Amino acid sequence: MNYLRGFIAWIAFAIVSSYDWRWGAAAALAVAVGLLVQDLRSGATADSLILEQSSVLFFAVLTVLGFSCPDSALGTYSGVLSLGWLALTAWGTVVVGRPFTSGIAKRHAPQAVWGTAFFRRMNVVITSVWAAAFTLSAVALAAVRAEGLGSGVSIPVQIAGFVVPAMFTARYRESVRARRVAQ
């Protein structure tokens, strides 16, 4: 589950935002910057840190907007915006042919497989599932917010947006490994 590391800032945002969305954004920004710096110092290349860079950008903008416009609707829709941003990031990386999960996978896969069609295809599938989950979760959360259904509904929607693709990723990787071994 090492791929969940890239989402630590988003998890921090979700937790702290339940108290105050502006401080949630600031906390997430601090976490995102810290993780990015740590990854760069450990030798990770910038092209393998797409999610981390995207997180820093999103939370930097949200923090500035949050503290400069504290009474805006951003607070109400910050969860929707965050899931929407993640969806745009994920879909964008698929469209440009550099799925964000590739960078994560490269930290654990042998360099010999990075350029293979198999590696690329596997990461397109996994990233597409994450992108679809973020998209559906953002839409569902927008509907929940518009209907005023509260945190009893919004929290499970947000959790599902991360748990479902995480479970898929784990199972898909195992399924692909089992098929390759069987061949």
Quick check: helix, strand or coil at residue 14?
helix
CA angle 155, 159, 162 (to 5 degrees): 150
Average pLDDT over residues 158-182: 90
Quick check: helix, strand or coil at residue 149?
coil
pLDDT tens digits for 4-38?
A: 788 899 989 988 988 899 999 999 999 999 999 99
Average pLDDT over residues 85-100: 96
pLDDT tens digits for 45-80?
A: 887 889 999 999 999 999 999 999 988 889 889 999
Given a cut of 60, is residue 1 above it in pLDDT? no
Q: Distance (Å, rounded) from C-alpha 1 to C-alpha 96? A: 25
Q: Which two tokens stand for residue 80?
A: 């929707």
Q: Which two tokens stand for residue 102?
A: 């590739």
DSSP letter string, 62-82: HHHHHHHSTTSTHHHHHHHHH
pTM: 0.91
